[in-house]
Amino acid sequence: MKKYKSFFIIRFSGGLQYRAAAYAGIATQYAWGFLTLIMFHAFYGHNAAAFPMPFEALSSYLWMQQAFLSLFMAWYFDNEIFDMITNGNIAYELCRPADLYTMWFVKNMAVRLSKAVCAVCRY
């Protein structure tokens, strides 16, 4: 368990270091959030009774979705894993006395959690 904790700490701290990417992410999330709100505002202006929740609740839901997008984004892949497979360094990972899937899961969870912590701190 200690080895997975160390993998988590290394990847989590590494994910918090990229400030330029974090600022670009802030701008992108705000832009998409406002565009989505504007779109729903137009739909609510036409027929608000057709929606299951009031616009204020939808607004809160959308901003929570934007804040925690990094936890659920299905298009994010860990390129380090692909690089290890491509250049053959996967053999070093297979020789470690650790479960490969658990190690990669913990690393990926740390990266996503660090992005979510950065996202929540900016709102």
Please name the amino acid found at residue 61: Y
Burial (CB < 10 A; 0-12, 13-18, 19+), residue 114, is: buried
What's the pLDDT tens digit per position in 86-119?
998 888 888 888 888 888 888 888 887 877 776 5
Q: What is the 8-class DSSP label of residue 49? A: G
Alpha carbons 84 and 98: distance in angstroms, whole number: 16
Q: What is the 8-class DSSP label of residue 1? A: -
Residue with tokens 């400030």: 19
Q: Is the pTM of this model over 0.75?
A: no
What's the pLDDT tens digit per position in 49-97?
889 999 999 999 998 888 777 777 766 777 888 888 899 888 888 888 8
